[in-house]
């Protein structure tokens, strides 16, 4: 499943085990979906990954819904009233059916005004029903490009943390000294580029350098100079930070 949000908040997650179980004959087992989420709006690609996990998890088990009618005197849990959005614990032993549901609709029929007796019809469904969890954007948007595909097991571990504490510690007319804010991973390093593009060992066109220490010195070519940093490890292929740290220098030569 590929879960797509607004802007650059995108993710592509697949489940190899489920794909294998679905595969049969000429059927390769792949089932795919693209979702443009309207609400809640995803803020980051990590939000999209977690949402993709939730959507795939919710698609696997049985989704329950139902309705229940009772007099107001016998509302579940001796409640004085019940509203849409309330949680309801449902237990139907004959169906081996214990689950937690959300009330989606309440209909009230007045039967005895003098003694304030009513019949409540409660419509409920469990939290895996899509309409309760996400609102999807209608229509088809242009598909996202350059997505990093990952498996369910890789979610949360595919990228290294960003260098949020990186800072410039010294400036001369020809050099800039940078403290990355954290020691690079063992066998890995800090990659510095002139622009936020081309990350990876296969591209040296805008590369400033790769450094295996927390503090290092890089060239300074102009009064105003920007540096872009990500850390990487020694895996194959190496993992990089998901987000780039940007440092800007504006200082007389």
What are 174-195's pLDDT values in tens digits?
999 999 999 999 999 999 999 9
Domain at 167-250, CATH class: mainly beta
The 3 state secondary structure assigned to 67-133 is EEEEEHHHCHHHCCCCCCCCEEEEEEHHHCEEEEEEEEEEEEEEEECCCCEEEEEEEEEECCCHHHH
Q: What is the pLDDT of residue 147?
A: 67
86-122 pLDDT per residue, tens: 888 888 887 677 888 888 899 999 888 888 889 999 9
The residues pairing with 119 across neighbouring beta strands, listed in sequence order, are 71, 109
Q: What is the pLDDT of residue 227?
A: 98
Q: How confident is the model at residue 16 (pLDDT cuts 50, 70, 90)?
A: confident
Q: What is the pLDDT of residue 142?
A: 60
- What gap in Å lies between CA 212 and CA 36, rounded to an integer? 40
Give the largest Cα separation in the chain, rounded: 90
Residue 249 has pLDDT above 70, yes or no: yes
More confident residue, 120 or 154: 120
Q: What is the pLDDT of residue 64?
A: 77
Q: How confident is the model at residue 3 (pLDDT cuts 50, 70, 90)?
A: very low
Q: What is the pLDDT of residue 211?
A: 97
CA 227 vs. chain centroid, Å, equals 28
The least confident of 86-100, 157-171, 226-240 is 86-100
CB-based contact 102:125 (threshold 8 Å): yes
Place of tokens 């409660």: 122
The least confident of 25-29, 77-81, 110-114, 149-153 is 149-153
Record the tokens describing residue 231, joined without a space: 């850390």
Mean predicted confidence (pLDDT) in 194-218 = 95
**Span between the terminal Cα atoms of the chain, in Å:** 52
Q: What is the pLDDT of residue 219?
A: 97
Residue 213 has pLDDT above 70, yes or no: yes
Q: Where are the domains of the chain?
A: 2-61+133-154, 65-127, 167-250
Give the rounded percent of residues in the chain with a pLDDT score beyond 90: 39
Mean pLDDT (the chain, rounded):
82
- If phi over 0 gives left and psi between -120 and 50 gives alpha, with beta otherwise, what is residue 147? beta
More confident residue, 129 or 27: 27
Record the tokens describing residue 244, joined without a space: 């780039």
């Amino acid at each position: 499943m590929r879960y797509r949000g607004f802007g650059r908040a995108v993710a592509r997650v697949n489940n190899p085990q489920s794909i294998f179980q679905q595969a049969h004959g000429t059927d390769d087992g792949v089932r795919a979906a693209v979702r443009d989420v309207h609400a809640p709006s995803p803020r980051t690609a990590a939000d999209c990954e977690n949402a993709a996990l939730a959507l795939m998890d919710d698609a696997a088990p049985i989704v329950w819904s139902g309705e229940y009618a009772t007099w107001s005197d016998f509302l579940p849990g001796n409640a004085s009233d019940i509203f849409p959005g309330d949680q309801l614990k449902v237990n139907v032993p004959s169906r081996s059916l214990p689950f937690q549901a959300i009330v989606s609709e309440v209909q009230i029929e007045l039967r005895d005004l003098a003694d304030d007796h009513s019949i409540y019809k409660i419509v409920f469904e469990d939290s895996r029903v899509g309409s309760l969890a996400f609102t999807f954007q209608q229509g088809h948007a242009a598909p996202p490009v350059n997505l990093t595909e990952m498996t369910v097991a890789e979610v949360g571990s595919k990228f290294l943390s960003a260098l949020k504490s990186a800072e410039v510690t010294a400036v001369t007319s020809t050099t800039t000294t940078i403290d990355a804010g954290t020691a690079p991973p063992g066998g890995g390093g800090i990659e510095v580029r002139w622009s936020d593009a081309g990350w990876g060992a296969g591209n040296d066109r805008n590369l400033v350098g790769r450094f295996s220490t927390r503090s290092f010195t890089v060239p300074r070519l102009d009064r105003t100079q920007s540096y872009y940093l990500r850390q990487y490890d020694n895996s194959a292929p190496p993992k990089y930070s998901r987000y780039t740290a940007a440092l800007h220098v504006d200082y007389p030569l």
